[in-house]
Amino acid sequence: MAKKPVKRLSDYQAPAFFVDTLDLHVELHDSATLVTATSRLKKAGTDSLLRLDGEQLELVSLELDGVAVEPRFENDQLLLDVPGEGAELKVVTRINPEANTALEGLYKSGGAFCTQCEAEGFRRITYFPDRPDVLAVYTTTIVADKALYPQLLSNGNLVASGDLEGGRHFATWQDPHPKPCYLFALVAGDFDLLEDGFTTSSGRDVLLQIFVDKGRKAQARHAMDALKGAMKWDQDNYGLEYDLDRYMIVAVDFFNMGAMENKGLNIFNAKYVLADDDTATDQDYDAIAAIIAHEYFHNWTGNRVTCRDWFQLSLKEGLTVFRDQQFSADWAGSSATRIKEAQVIRTNQFAEDAGPMSHPIRPQAVAEMNNFYTVTVYNKGAEVIRMLHGLLGKAGFRAGMDLYFERHDGQAVTCDDFVDAMADANDRDLTAFKGWYSQSGTPVVNVAEHWDGSQYSLVLTQHTPPTADQQQKGPLPLPFAIELLGHGRQVLQLDGAEQRFELGSFAEKPVLAPLCGFSAPVKLVFEQSDAELAALVEKASDGFVRVDAAERLLQRLVEAWLKGEEHAALDLWLGALEAIAKGPLQDAFLESELFKVPGIMAMQGWFETIDLDGLVAARDRLRQAVRERCFGALKARYQEVQGLADKGARALTNSLLALLAENLPEEVARRYHQAANMTERQGALAAAVAGELAESEALLAEFAERYQDNPQVLDKWLMLQGQRAGALERMDQLSRHGAFNWQNPNRTRALFGTFIAHNPQCHTEAGYAWLGLVLPKLDAINPQATARMVAPLLQWRRFDAGRRAQLEQLLTALRARDSLSADVGELLDKALA
Ligand code: B3K
Ligand code: ZN
């Protein structure tokens, strides 16, 4: 197995050399691109040993101040002694973009060249100090065939361009802002272009350009509007303006993640750019706006102020996710926005904490950095920023941000620098709060209530169970927002392991709604009565509390079912749903969440050991119970909203249809065929598939035919195929289907990723045998994408004895393979430790 040495935060050393300027000259050819990199080096301390990173490069020549030098190698580094205070370094390398299926460094997506350098992809372009604390001013010249690649793009401003011999042409770009190499980007292709403009608050006219595949220009309109919305929002809310004359976005179909914030030249997964009503759901529209905003916001939180080292990733990612969440809440938000954010933490992040990949939002040891672009670093990181925002208030948080930029603009800094700016701007001691950066695991908050006939008080205690990476835990300061039904809301600040809160005198015992708005990323243990929980589902004023109360009821119920017992929670839950459905429609988004049966993934998080068969049976039984008991009320609500042309109504209609599909097969088919947009069409199709309706086969075939020319839409089809009952038997055929492509991570994630994460059939003997064949094949193509897909299997120890044994065997055999990537290897090392 390929191994990467584990790096530790505590071993950080400042670079020996800075790079003032970097001139890149890139001669593009499909299989032999020539890169000439000329850098002006400046000694940073006393050490004269220069370390350059490089992977999968052919070194053509190496010169220091015009004199050829002999390279010395140590693992993936090239070492050079540089006498004096600095020198000019010229490195020429040859690379093969066409063979680059890992999609890191320079590669081809369809007919175009593009790059992905974060975290450590620049070292696949040239030898360079590939670390975020080396900031240089870049000048990039691209040379390529003019007919095939009429558009040549890189960071910053276009300073020269022209024709060359042999049908080739060139363009030279200059980026005046010093940046780390992970923000470098280059694109060459033949795209359709949507242009617009934005004038910043200080009067700078910015040209906005979105480059998309031919014929897709109209589908970039929504992304463009979101970009303009984000630019204005950041000015209005943080006083942050754009700092170049041009902002470019390129949409490509081959891309490992969502998007990348390269300075002035974002590269996006086409999935997060292209949309129109016929091809994108309401959810797609929202995700596009959120990611467009996220990458734009990075221009300040990430690019102008960047990370000292990759352990600090949450410095830019947690903060930028928080900012995009704020933007989304303002721009397109609904009552379900916060509920969905909480679901990501409770389903995905808590699972990460409960498994072998547990790490603090600032990890302490990393082998393959790409493995740490996690829900912990991103989403829990955002929750930590959200708590800070709550603690300091809007104005205090803004003062902290202002001070952060005043102190650190143009620098590469640490999470401590960020918290210190927040503390200093507000004259607060945030030492204890910093524990959120160094401690992994999910705090468990225990709630005990006391009511003596008049005085009502709460005792909150917290403890964090040990995690795979860290045994010792301490209490963390956390805001615990509560509502006493009918008596208003307040925030209790829990600072220690145990605290008592006197809440006043009450003639009747008040009903407590805990953790309003999911005020802290914690688990709740609270022996609240079933009846109170049912009351919360119906009456709490906080949407998260309502959904959470339903979940706590269901957890009790499923726990009883798994033991072969019955539980009164069933009646209470059904009663609450029925009462809501019979009441006047108040909030369609919220109802759309309440009328969902939790998925298997969410249910897995309720228990330490995973009884997969029991959970599948429980889920099906819940769906059936709803149909039996609440059909009339839910159908009436369905009829009330199904014809309405608004987003909330569409969300609610889709939830109801998914619940009632088995009882309404004709209506499912009718809605599919008469759909006015993709939200309706996909909702109906998903309901047919989840309900395993006889109609689903024909509807899936119709869908594949209708969208045969649109790979992004066909990913929706592949996802449904991946989660369908009996998917495994169709895998071979599906992976040979024209909609599928082994080298495209969107396709493999849609079909295989969905199957692995969401289809219980994956956890059968045949499923494991299939994994044993498919994972090595995927890993040889794209390690980063494969590592992401493997994540759910890392939880193997939590399954029943039979599955545990089979999974251990599968993972052990995988780990023993010589050709295994460092990416997957790191995960398996941890999982099997
Ligand atoms: N910063 C990039 C993610 C890079 C992932 C590298 N494996 C996108 C983002 O968070 O905005
Ligand atoms: Zn980001």
Task: Please determine, for residue 577, whether its predicted confidence score (pLDDT) is greater than 80.
Answer: yes
Residue 424 contacts residue 403 (beta carbons within 8 Å): yes
DSSP 489-504: EEEEEE-SSEEEEEEE
Q: Which residue has the higher pLDDT, 55 or 334?
A: 55
Task: Please determine, for residue 2, whether its predicted confidence score (pLDDT) is greater than 80.
Answer: no
Question: What percentage of the chain exceeds 90 in pLDDT?
Answer: 99
Terminal alpha carbon distance of the chain: 16
Residue 198 contacts residue 218 (beta carbons within 8 Å): no
Catalytic residue among 55, 261, 295, 352: 295
Atom of ligand 1 nearest to the CA of 370: 7
**Ligand 1 pocket list (CB less than 6 A):** 118-119, 257, 259-261, 294-295, 298, 317, 370, 373
pLDDT reported for residue 334? 87
Q: How far is the CA of 128 from the centre of ligand 1 (A)?
A: 20
**C-alpha–C-alpha distance, residues 87 and 282, integer Å:** 55
Atom of ligand 1 nearest to the CA of 369: 7
Residue 649 contacts residue 590 (beta carbons within 8 Å): no
Burial label, 85 (beta-carbon count in 10 A; 0-12, 13-18, 19+): exposed
Tell which residue, 95, 103, 148, 284, has the closest CA to residue 741.
Answer: 103
pLDDT reported for residue 13? 97
Structure token digits, residue 724 = 């369908």
pLDDT reported for residue 296? 99
Residue 260 contacts residue 317 (beta carbons within 8 Å): no
Confidence of residue 108 (pLDDT cuts 50, 70, 90): very high
**C-alpha–C-alpha distance, residues 663 and 665, integer Å:** 6
pLDDT reported for residue 520? 98
Atom of ligand 1 nearest to the CA of 298: 11
What's domain 17-190's architecture? Sandwich (2.60)
**C-alpha–C-alpha distance, residues 567 and 633, integer Å:** 23
Starting from the edge strand earliest in sequence, which strands make up the sheet with 259-260, in order? 192-199, 205-212, 246-252, 265-269, 259-260
Residue 353 contacts residue 345 (beta carbons within 8 Å): no
pLDDT reported for residue 185? 99
In this prediction, residues 767-778 reach a mean pLDDT of 98
| DSSP β-bridge partners for residue 49 | 81
Q: How far is the CA of 298 from the centre of ligand 2 (A)?
A: 7
Sign of the dihedral through C-alpha 518, 520, 524, 529: negative
Question: Average model confidence (pLDDT) for the chain?
Answer: 98
Site to probe by mutation for ligand 1, drawn from 118, 296, 313 as the one with most ligand atoms within 8 Å of Cβ, is 118
Residue 365 contacts residue 7 (beta carbons within 8 Å): yes
Of all protein residues, whose CA lies closest to atom 9 belonging to ligand 1?
260
Tell which residue, 138, 152, 145, has the closest CA to residue 187.
Answer: 152
DSSP 6: P
Confidence (pTM): 0.99
Which ligand minimizes its atom distance to the CA of 788? 1
Task: Please determine, for residue 91, whether its predicted confidence score (pLDDT) is greater than 90.
Answer: yes
Angle at which helices 381-408 and 415-426 pack, to 10 degrees?
Answer: 80
Q: Where are the domains of the chain?
A: 17-190, 723-833
Report which residue type is found at 665. P
**C-alpha–C-alpha distance, residues 747 and 729, integer Å:** 18
Residue 200 contacts residue 206 (beta carbons within 8 Å): yes
Which whole-number Å values give the CA distances from 505 to 456, 526, 552, in the listed order? 6, 21, 28
pLDDT reported for residue 556? 98
Q: How far, in whole angstroms, is CA 209 from its chain's centroid?
A: 25
In this prediction, residues 335-363 reach a mean pLDDT of 97
In this prediction, residues 412-432 reach a mean pLDDT of 99
Q: How far is the CA of 259 from the centre of ligand 1 (A)?
A: 7
Residue 501 contacts residue 460 (beta carbons within 8 Å): yes
Q: Is 565 a catalytic residue?
A: no
Atom of ligand 1 nearest to the CA of 317: 10
Of all protein residues, whose CA lies closest to atom 3 belonging to ligand 1?
260
Confidence of residue 333 (pLDDT cuts 50, 70, 90): confident
Three-state DSSP string of 746-814 = HHHHHHHHHHHHHCHHHHCHHHHHHHHHHHHHHHHHCHHHHHHHHHHHHHHHHECHHHHHHHHHHHHHH
Sign of the dihedral through C-alpha 490, 491, 497, 501: negative
Q: How far is the CA of 260 from the centre of ligand 1 (A)?
A: 5
pLDDT reported for residue 3? 82
Site to probe by mutation for ligand 1, drawn from 116, 373, 377, 784 as the one with most ligand atoms within 8 Å of Cβ, is 373
Residue 97 contacts residue 107 (beta carbons within 8 Å): yes
Confidence of residue 238 (pLDDT cuts 50, 70, 90): very high
Q: How far is the CA of 262 from the centre of ligand 1 (A)?
A: 10
The string of pLDDT tens digits covering residues 620-650 is 999 999 999 999 999 999 999 999 999 999 9
DSSP 269: E
Q: How far is the CA of 751 from the centre of ligand 2 (A)?
A: 25
**C-alpha–C-alpha distance, residues 539 and 775, integer Å:** 48
Question: What percentage of the chain exceeds 70 in pLDDT?
Answer: 100
pLDDT reported for residue 400? 99
Task: Please determine, for residue 1, whether its predicted confidence score (pLDDT) is greater than 90.
Answer: no
Which ligand minimizes its atom distance to the CA of 315? 2
Task: Please determine, for residue 524, whether its predicted confidence score (pLDDT) is greater than 90.
Answer: yes
**C-alpha–C-alpha distance, residues 705 and 509, integer Å:** 60
